[in-house]
C-alpha cells in the first residue's frame, strides 16, 4: 500500500466503475455529435481574470472555490472551475466566429476543480460533458441544446430527471427588475456577506440554498413579472419548441444558477434521488459573455452535464448500463511454445476487433481458468503442446461449459463469427 492517498475531496476512477463513467460520457456526447457539434479541448488552467470577469467576481466559484496559483513569471492562473469561459476564449482566439456560418457549435469533456466542502455527490474535482452554440440569438438554438440534453438522459434509461426552465431577462429589462429586487432584499434579515451580495448581484441571493434565507424569499419579486415583451416572446418560443419535441419541463421563476453571465433562457436538470445536491446538469444563454472577456458581441447558449452526478442518478434508479465486455476471449497458453503461438492469436483477435486477453506468467491451468472466469469473457481459448502438435486449440464456452477443438488457422474466423 502506498503512503500517499488521493487529496481530500477527490477520488480515483478505476475499473470496474470507470466503465460506467466512460459509457455516460459517450451517451451525453453522442446527441451533440449527431447535431453537428465539433470537439474542443482547452487547458486545465487559465488566467484568473478569465473567470473573474466571465463567471463573476461576486460568485462563490470565484471568491471561495477557485484554485489559484502564481507562476515563476508572476502570472496568476486558476484551475478551471467551469468550461464555458474557456471554450469561448478558445473560439475567440482561433477566430472561429469569422471562419464561416454561425453558430459555432462545440462540445467538450473534461475535469473541473472547485474548493468545496466534500459531501455525497459533490467533490473538489468533477467531470462534465458540455456544449456551446456561439454567435446566434435564436430560440431554436436554446431549444436544440435543451432537447439534446434530455435525449442524452433518456438514452441512458433515466426516468427521474426533471427539467426546470426560466428566463432571466436581458439588458433592457433586467436593470428595472434588479432595482426592485434590491429594495426587497434590503428589508430582509440577512448576514453581512449576503447583504454585500445584494449590491453586486442581487439575483445570486435567490440562489441561496439555506432554509433560513429561502423562507424570507417567499414574497420576492419575480423576473417574469418585469420582463420586456421581447424577452417574453423569446422565452415562449423556447417553451413551445421544447414542448413540441416531447420534453416535459417545469417553469421555475426562482431558477437563477450560480454564474453571473446568464441572460434570458436558464435551465437545470435535477434528480430527486440525489438529495439536497439534486442538480445533474444545466445551462442557459450568455449573450454578453464574449464582450466581458474582450471579444465582439456574440450571443451564445450552452450547458454542462455532470458525469459523476449522472452516474449517481443511474445508481439511485437502479439502472444497469449495457456495458461492452472488457474481454470477450481469454486465452490460456500451456507451455513456452504455446505461449508464443497463443500470443500471436490474441494479437490477431484484437486487430479483428475482438476484445481479448491472456494469462501471463506461466500460470497453472486452474489459476488461469479462474482468471478467465473472473474476466467476464464469453470464451476461453486453451492451447498446450499436444494441441499445437495437432494444429488445434480448445475453445470453451464459459457460459455453457461446452468445449471443442478448433483449427489454429480458423480460430480468428470462428470467434469473430460467434461474437458477431
Cell output for 9: 475531496
Is 348 annotated in a binding site? The answer is no
The answer on whether 236 is annotated among ligand-binding residues is: no
First to last CA, the chain: 42
Whole-angstrom distance, CA of residue 380 vs CA of residue 277: 45
Strand order in the sheet with 45-47: 45-47, 76-79, 68-70
Strand partners, 304: 130, 282
> Does 11 belong to an annotated binding site?
no
The annotation status of 277 as a binding-site residue, yes or no, is no
Residue 306 marked as a ligand binder: no
210 annotated ligand-binding residue: no
User: CA-to-CA distance for 397 and 392, rounded, in angstroms?
Assistant: 16
82 assigned binding-site residue: yes
According to the annotation, is 336 in a ligand binding site?
no
Q: Is 122 marked as a binding-site residue? A: no
Query: For residue 151, how many other CB atoms are within 10 A of its CB?
Result: 19
Task: Write out the H or E segment, with its range, that includes residue 331.
Answer: strand 329-333
Q: Name, in order, each residue with C-beta under 8 angstroms of 122's C-beta and a sequence gap of 6 or more.
A: 116, 277
What three-state secondary structure class fits 279?
Answer: strand
Q: Which 3 state secondary structure label does DSSP give 381?
A: strand
Name 320's Cβ contacts closer than 8 Å, sequence gap at least 6.
none
Q: Are 155 and 27 in contact (CB under 8 A)?
A: yes
Annotated binding site: 82-84, 114, 128, 132, 257, 261-262
Annotated binding site for L-histidine: 82-84, 114, 128, 132, 257, 261-262
Amino acid at each position: 500500500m502506498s503512503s500517499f492517498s488521493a487529496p481530500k475531496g477527490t477520488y480515483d476512477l478505476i475499473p470496474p466503475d470507470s466503465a460506467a463513467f466512460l459509457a455516460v460520457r459517450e451517451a451525453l456526447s453522442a446527441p451533440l455529435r449527431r447535431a453537428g457539434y465539433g470537439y474542443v479541448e482547452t487547458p486545465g488552467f487559465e488566467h484568473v481574470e478569465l473567470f473573474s470577469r466571465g463567471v463573476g467576481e461576486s460568485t462563490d466559484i470565484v471568491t471561495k472555490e477557485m484554485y489559484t496559483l502564481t507562476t515563476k513569471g508572476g502570472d496568476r492562473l486558476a484551475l478551471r472551475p467551469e468550461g464555458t469561459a474557456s471554450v469561448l476564449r478558445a473560439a475567440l482566439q482561433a477566430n472561429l466566429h469569422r471562419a464561416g456560418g454561425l453558430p459555432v457549435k462545440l462540445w467538450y469533456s473534461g475535469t473541473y476543480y472547485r474548493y468545496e466542502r466534500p459531501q455525497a455527490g459533490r467533490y473538489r474535482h468533477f467531470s462534465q460533458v458540455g456544449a456551446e452554440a456561439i454567435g446566434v440569438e435564436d430560440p431554436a438554438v436554446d431549444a436544440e441544446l435543451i432537447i439534446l440534453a434530455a435525449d442524452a438522459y433518456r438514452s441512458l434509461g433515466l426516468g427521474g430527471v426533471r427539467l426546470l426552465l426560466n428566463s432571466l431577462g436581458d439588458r433592457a429589462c433586467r436593470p428595472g427588475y434588479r432595482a426592485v429586487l434590491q429594495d426587497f432584499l434590503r428589508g430582509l434579515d440577512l448576514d453581512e456577506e449576503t447583504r454585500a451580495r445584494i449590491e453586486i448581484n442581487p439575483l445570486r441571493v435567490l440562489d441561496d440554498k439555506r432554509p433560513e434565507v429561502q423562507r424570507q424569499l417567499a414574497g420576492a419579486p419575480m423576473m417574469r413579472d418585469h420582463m420586456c415583451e421581447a424577452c417574453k416572446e423569446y422565452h415562449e418560443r423556447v417553451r413551445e419548441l421544447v414542448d413540441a419535441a416531447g420534453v416535459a419541463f417545469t417553469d421555475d421563476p426562482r431558477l437563477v444558477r450560480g454564474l453571473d453571465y446568464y441572460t434570458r433562457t436558464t435551465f437545470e436538470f435535477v434528480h430527486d434521488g440525489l438529495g439536497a445536491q439534486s442538480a445533474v446538469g444545466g445551462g442557459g444563454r450568455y449573450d454578453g459573455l464574449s464582450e466581458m472577456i474582450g471579444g465582439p458581441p456574440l450571443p451564445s447558449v450552452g450547458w454542462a452535464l455532470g458525469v459523476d452526478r449522472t452516474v449517481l442518478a443511474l445508481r439511485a434508479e437502479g439502472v444497469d448500463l449495457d456495458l461492452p465486455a472488457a474481454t470477450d476471449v481469454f486465452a490460456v497458453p500451456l507451455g513456452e511454445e504455446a505461449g508464443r503461438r497463443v500470443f500471436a492469436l490474441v494479437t490477431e483477435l484484437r486487430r479483428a476487433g475482438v476484445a481479448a486477453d491472456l494469462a501471463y506468467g506461466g500460470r497453472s491451468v486452474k489459476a488461469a481458468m479462474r482468471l478467465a472466469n473472473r474476466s467476464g469473457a464469453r470464451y476461453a481459448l486453451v492451447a498446450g503442446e499436444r494441441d499445437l502438435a495437432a494444429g488445434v486449440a480448445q475453445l470453451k464456452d464459459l457460459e455453457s461449459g461446452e468445449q471443442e477443438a478448433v483449427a489454429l488457422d480458423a480460430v480468428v474466423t470462428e470467434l469473430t463469427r460467434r461474437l458477431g
